[in-house]
Amino acid sequence: MRPARSARAMFESGAYVAEQLSPVREDQIQPNGVDLTVEAVFEQREPGRITRDGKEIGARSRVAAEETDDERETFYLPPGGYVVQYTETIAVPEDHVGFVYPRSSLMRNSCMLNTAVWDAGYEGKGEGLLEVHHDVELERGARIAQFVLAEAEHDDVYAGSYQNERID
């Protein structure tokens, strides 16, 4: 029999979450999580496939970043769907589950970020589906999402095909 847990949800502080990510700048740490930043943007070019026995990710092409006058790199994105790769490497502790939420500045610019649950034990540089409903420019390194951690019971840890993705 499991011990009784508190009825209140237990989300961790931003300072605790920051200890699970790298690299993290001070301005990314929020009261209840850490902002994730844009590393790269891709467009899916070929169909993917999801079956009962596995999955195949469709071919993607990298969206070129344009250099601005002040030597910053910006992605100009017309309406459509894009895969955004985050800069930060995340390690979800074994007694937690991670969630990624869009920053309000995305929604205020007619964009939405769709994400999935990040299981206990996952480590890697994840990605999200960016839906652009009106032209937008995203600068490489811009904060577009917030990663939060909640305490969670589980029977096992993540050991799927995305484990250690894009970790050098």
DSSP 13: P
Q: Is residue 15 part of a domain?
A: no
Query: Structurally, how many domains does the chain consist of?
Result: 1
pLDDT band at 161 (very low <50, low <70, confident <90, very high): confident
Give the burial class of 165: count Cβ atoms within 10 A of its Cβ; 0-12 exposed, 13-18 middle, 19 or more buried: middle
Q: Say if residue 160's pLDDT is above 90.
A: no
Query: pLDDT of 50-96, one tens digit each?
Result: 999 999 999 999 999 999 888 899 999 999 999 999 999 999 999 99
User: Does 121 fall in a domain?
Assistant: yes
* Residue pLDDT, tens place only, 95-136: 999 999 999 999 999 999 999 999 999 999 999 999 999 999
Residue 102 placed within a domain: yes
90: number of Cβ within 10 Å: 21
Residue 7 lies in a domain: no
- Strands annotated E in the chain: 21-22, 29-30, 33-44, 49-50, 55-56, 60-62, 66-67, 73-77, 80-86, 89-91, 96-102, 111-114, 123-124, 127-132, 136-139, 143-151
- What tokens appear for 66 in the block? 């344009």
Does 127 fall in a domain? yes
What is the reported pTM?
Answer: 0.87
CATH number of domain containing 74: 2.70.40.10
